[in-house]
Structure 1
Amino acid sequence: MSTNHHQEAGVDSRAVAARDQVYARPWAGMAIVVGGLVALVVGIALCVTFGEKDIRFLTVWKAIFQFNPDDSQHQIIHALRLPRVLGGAIIGACLAVAGAMMQGMTRNPLADSGLLGLNAGGGFALALIYAFFQELPFKYHLLFAFLGAGVGVGLVFFLSSIARGGLKPLRLVLAGAAITALLTALSEGVALYYHIGKDLSFWYAGTLAGIRLSQLEIMFRWVAAALVGAIFLSRSITMLSLGEDVARGLGLRTGRVKAAGMLIVLVLAGAAVSVAGSIGFIGLLIPHLTRKLVGVDYRWIIPCSGVLGALLVIFADLAARMFSSQSVIPVASLIAIIGVPFFLYLAAKEERAL
C-alpha cells in the first residue's frame, strides 16, 4: 500500500511539474484575437466589394441594412458575395479549430481533418446523398457529413492501431492517406455510376462558390455550439497535450474529454465539408503558427486558431479571384500551395525524431 501511495504521489508530482511548464503569451493571444477580428471585418468588406464588377462599400452597407430587392447590386451582394465571404470565414475557423483540437488530443503534429480521413468521409456521405436522397433538405446533408466524417476518422484510427507498435504520427498519416484514397475512389465510382459528377464537383474543387445564406443559417447553430464547446474544453486539451499519464495525474477524465473533443471535431469538419468540399491543410498550418505566437496553452490556441483560420480562407479566396476573375481558382488550390511544402517539412521533422 505504501509503495502504491508513493508511486501515485510521484505521478502526481510529475504531472504538476509538467502543468507548471505550460507557457502562454496572453498579450500575444489578445492581440491576435482583437487585431484579427478587426482584420476580419476589413477582409470581409474587401471581399464583398471586389469581383468582376466592383461595388462601392456604401452600396454594400445599404444592401446589408437597407436591402432593396429591386436593386441588382443588392441582389448580387445577398445571393453571391456575402454568403461566399461569410462561409469562408466560418469554414476557416471550423477547420483550424478542428485541427488544433486533434493535434492537442492525439499529440500528433501532423493531425488535420483533411489528412486523417474526415473530409473524405464527409465527401463520400454527400455522394450517397446525391445518388439516393437528392430531395433531402440541407440540414440532413449536415447530419450525413458528420456521420461520414466519423466513419472516415474511425477507419483511420482502426487501421493505425492494429499495426505493431500502436499509433504513431507518421503511421496515422499513412493510414489517413490510404482511407482518403479509398473513400475518394468510392465517391468517384458513385458519381460516375449515378451520373452525379456535376453535383459532386464542388467537393473535389474545394471552392466557396455556390454557398447560400440559407445553408449558413442552418450550419451556424451547429458550428457556434461546437466552437463554444471547444473553448470550454480548451483547458482539458492543454492537459491532454502533455500526455495521458500527466492528464490523469492532474485528475482529468481523459476518455470523456477525448469523446467530447472528437464529437466537436466531427461537427466542425462535417459542417465545413458539407458547404465547401475538401479544403485541406488549414488545420495543419494554422495551429502550428498559433503555437509559435501564443505558446502551448489551448485556452489561447483555440480562439486564435479560429480567427487566423478565418483570415487565411477569406484572403486566399480574395487572392484567387484577383488572379483569375473569369475562371475562379478554387481556394483549396492556393492553400495547398502553402500546405504541401509545410506538411513535407513536418513529416521529415517527425521522421528524424523517431
Structure 2
Amino acid sequence: MAVDVRLAGPSRRVWVLVTLLAAAAVAVVLSLAIGAQWLTPAAVWQAVTDPDPTAPATAIVRELRLPRTVLGVLVGLALGAAGALIQGHTRNPLADPGLLGISAGASFAVVIGIQWGAAQLTGYIWFAFAGALAASVAVFGIASGRRGGPTPVTLALAGMAISALLASFTQSLLLSDDASLNVFRFWVVGSLSGRDADVAVQVLPFILLGLLLAFVNAPALNALGLGEDVARALGQRVTAARVVGVTAIVLLAGAATAACGPIGFLGLIVPHVARTFTGPDHRWLIPCSALAGATLLLLADVLGRVVVSPGELQTGIVLAAIGAPFFIALVRRRQGVVKL
C-alpha cells in the first residue's frame, strides 16, 4: 500500500483526539440512557454517582446497562486499535483483525468448549481466547517461512488458509450436534447483550496489555510502512516489531472476540476514518482508531435497541449493515487492487 506522505499538524491531531474523547463520552451516556426504558442524563448520573436502591433507574443502569457499556468501551478500543495494527503490518487497506485467523480459531474453540460442557459464556470465553491465540500463532508460524520473517503477503495468505480450514472443522462439528449449534448461535452473532460484569473483568487485563503493546509498536510500524529494507536501514528490528505487533493484535482481537463473538467491519472501518484526520502516523492513528472503535460500537449497540424497540437488534448485525456499504465503496475506490 502506498504511504500517504500528507501529515496532519500536531495541533489538528490533538483536536481530533479531544473530539473523539468527547464523542466517546456522549456514546457512553447514550448507552446508559437509551433502551426499553429511556432515562434522562440526570437520572443516569444519579444512578452512577449517588444510587438510590429504591429507584428503578438504579437497577437498570448499574445492573444492566453499566456492565454492558463498560464491555462495549473495552471491546471497541480493542478492535479499533487491532484494526489499525493489522492494516499497518499487512499493508492491506482491506484487512481486519480476523485476517490472522482470530475469529475462525475462536469459533472452533467455542464449539469444542460447548461440547465439553461449557454452556455458559463465562465458561467458553476462555476456550475462545485460547482458540484465537492458537490460530494466530499458527498463522504467524506459517507466514514466517524458512527465511525467518513474515511478510504482508504471507500473513494474508496464511490467515486465509487457516481461517478456511478451521471454518470447515467448525461447521462439521455443528452439523453433528444440534445442542452445540443452539448455544453457538448466541455467541457467533456478535453482541454486547447478555454479558455481565464478570466478562469485562475477565478480558480487561488482556486488552490493557494489548493496548500497551500497540502503542509501543507504533514507531516501528511507521518505519515498516516505508518498506522492510528502509526500516532495517533505520535500525528497526523487523522480526521483533512483527512479533510485538501480532502479539498485540492477538490479545486485543482475541479478547474482544471471546467476549462478544465475531464483530465484523469495526476493525476495517475505523482506521480509515481516523487516518483521514490523523494521517499515517501510527502514534496518533492507533489511539484515535481505538476511541473511534469504542464510539462506533456503543452507537451501533444503541441503534440496535432503538430500531426494533421494544426488541433488540444484535450489534454485529447493525455493524454489518453499516460496514458492508463502506467495504464496497472502499473496494470500488481502490478498483479492487491492493498495492503491497
TM-score normalized by the length of structure 1: 0.83
Q: What whole-Å deviation, never above 9, does each CA across 1:18-66 have from its counterpart, x for those lacking one?
A: 9995734322321222111122112211121111111232332232223
Give the counterpart of 2:294 among 310, 316, 319.
310
Q: What whole-Å deviation, never above 9, does each CA across 1:130-153 have from its counterpart, x for those lacking one?
A: 221528994x75554333223334
Alignment match, 1:3: none
Give the counterpart of 1:149 among 132, 145, 148.
132
- The farther-off stretch of 112-121 and 223-232 is 112-121
Alignment match, 1:26: 10
User: Contact 2:90 / 2:152 at 8 angstroms: preserved in 1?
Assistant: no
CA distance in 1, matches of 2:233, 2:209: 29
Equivalences for 1:1-354 in 2 at 5 Å? 23-134=7-118, 138=122, 141=124, 143-154=126-137, 176=159, 179-194=162-177, 195-347=179-331, 349=334, 351-352=336-337
- For the structure 1 residues 350 and 128, does the alpha-carbon distance in structure 2 shift closer, same or farther, using more than 3 Å as the test? farther
TM-score normalized by the length of structure 2: 0.86
Q: What whole-Å deviation, never above 9, does each CA across 1:175-209 have from its counterpart, x for those lacking one?
A: 65564454344334434544123322232211111
User: Contact 2:67 / 2:200 at 8 angstroms: preserved in 1?
Assistant: yes
Amino acid paired to 2:17: V
Amino acid paired to 2:65: R
- The farther-off stretch of 246-255 and 191-200 is 191-200
CA distance in 1, matches of 2:93, 2:317: 22
- Unaligned runs of 5+ residues in structure 2 are none
CA distance in 1, matches of 2:3, 2:184: 46
- For the structure 1 residues 105 and 49, does the alpha-carbon distance in structure 2 shift closer, same or farther, using more than 3 Å as the test? same
User: Contact 2:109 / 2:127 at 8 angstroms: preserved in 1?
Assistant: yes
- For the structure 1 residues 351 and 46, does the alpha-carbon distance in structure 2 shift closer, same or farther, using more than 3 Å as the test? closer
**Length, aligned pairs only:** 332
CA distance in 2, matches of 1:89, 1:321: 17
- For the structure 1 residues 243 and 199, does the alpha-carbon distance in structure 2 shift closer, same or farther, using more than 3 Å as the test? same
CA distance in 2, matches of 1:202, 1:27: 45
CA distance in 1, matches of 2:237, 2:227: 13
User: Contact 2:68 / 2:193 at 8 angstroms: preserved in 1?
Assistant: yes
Amino acid paired to 1:343: F
Tell me the CA shift for residue 219 of structure 1: 1.5
User: Contact 1:206 / 1:279 at 8 angstroms: preserved in 2?
Assistant: yes
CA distance in 2, matches of 1:274, 1:190: 19
Q: What whole-Å deviation, never above 9, does each CA across 1:52-95 have from its counterpart, x for those lacking one?
A: 11123233223222334554432222222112222222211111
Tell me the CA shift for residue 304 of structure 1: 0.4
User: Contact 1:282 / 1:309 at 8 angstroms: preserved in 2?
Assistant: yes
CA distance in 2, matches of 1:67, 1:277: 32
CA distance in 2, matches of 1:330, 1:19: 36
User: Contact 1:121 / 1:145 at 8 angstroms: preserved in 2?
Assistant: yes
Amino acid paired to 1:145: A
Tell me the CA shift for residue 241 of structure 1: 1.6
User: Contact 1:110 / 1:173 at 8 angstroms: preserved in 2?
Assistant: no
CA distance in 1, matches of 2:315, 2:77: 15
CA distance in 2, matches of 1:298, 1:251: 18
Aligned residue for 2:208, secondary structure, equals: helix
Q: What whole-Å deviation, never above 9, does each CA across 1:299-326 have from its counterpart, x for those lacking one?
A: 0000000011111111111112110113
CA distance in 1, matches of 2:9, 2:128: 36
Q: What whole-Å deviation, never above 9, does each CA across 1:101-158 have from its counterpart, x for those lacking one?
A: 11111212222113442112112222222221528994x7555433322333455567
CA distance in 1, matches of 2:231, 2:143: 23
User: Contact 1:106 / 1:241 at 8 angstroms: preserved in 2?
Assistant: no
- For the structure 1 residues 192 and 69, does the alpha-carbon distance in structure 2 shift closer, same or farther, using more than 3 Å as the test? farther
Alignment match, 1:13: none
| Matched-pair identity in % | 35
Amino acid paired to 1:148: G
User: Contact 1:129 / 1:141 at 8 angstroms: preserved in 2?
Assistant: yes
